[in-house]
Amino acid sequence: PRQIPRFRFNIMGLLGTVTDQALPAADLSAFQKPVPVSKAATSLSLHGADRIAESISIDLGVQVEPRFLIGDERMQLTDRQSTGTAVVEAKSMATINWFDVATAKTLDALQVVHGTTAGHIVQLDAPKVQIGRPSQGQSQNILNYSLPLMFVPDAGDDELVITVK
């Protein structure tokens, strides 16, 4: 909350030819002012309802192996297991019992939408998310749950769809 959402990438690749080059001129004229996460700009729906959340993080869990073999050199994607964590405000057990949801291994959707202006909206959709064992915490003396998230593919490799619109 009140911070700029971020994507963070780790890039791996083969070393190409190294040469001296002048740095290109930076053109930042198209740079957009970022919009902080807030009630007005961000929404989160988890397991069928809007949730009050403090944070969400997602790790695609991609495993890349460098393969240096006789006759071939490549970076090989060998596995992917998407996981994450959502920290949500605790509500009464009658509203949602995250412990029962986790025990039942219930699969349901996650959607996060950030932005309100066309061309500046990022939407994350996961059709099948399983909640792991919740842990209790607090911030500002208000009870919350840290919910481990496991993303399950629906068909093929579609466990998480990122749309910029």
pLDDT at position 157 is: 80
* Residue 147 in domain: yes
3 state DSSP class of 148: strand
Residue 32: alpha-carbon gap to chain centroid: 22
pLDDT at position 83: 97
156-148-155 Cα angle (round to 5): 10
111 belongs to a structural domain: yes
The residue to which tokens 């959502």 are assigned:
86
Q: Is residue 70 part of a domain?
A: yes
The answer to whether residue 21 is domain-embedded is no
Whether 73 and 150 have beta carbons less than 8 Å apart is answered as no
Q: What pLDDT was estimated at residue 53?
A: 96
Q: Is residue 41 part of a domain?
A: no
Q: Which domain holds residue 139?
A: 48-164
Please report whether residue 126 resides in a domain.
yes
Q: Which CATH number does the domain housing residue 132 bear? A: 2.40.30
154 in a domain, yes or no? yes
Per-residue pLDDT of the chain (165 residues; tens, 9 = 90+): 888 998 888 888 898 899 999 999 999 998 888 999 999 999 999 999 999 999 999 999 999 999 999 999 999 999 989 999 999 999 999 999 999 999 999 999 999 999 999 989 999 999 999 999 999 999 999 999 999 999 999 887 889 999 999
**d(Cα 125, Cα 20) in Å, to the nearest integer?**
43
- Please tell me the total count of domains within the chain: 1
pLDDT at 155: 81
Is 26 part of any domain? no
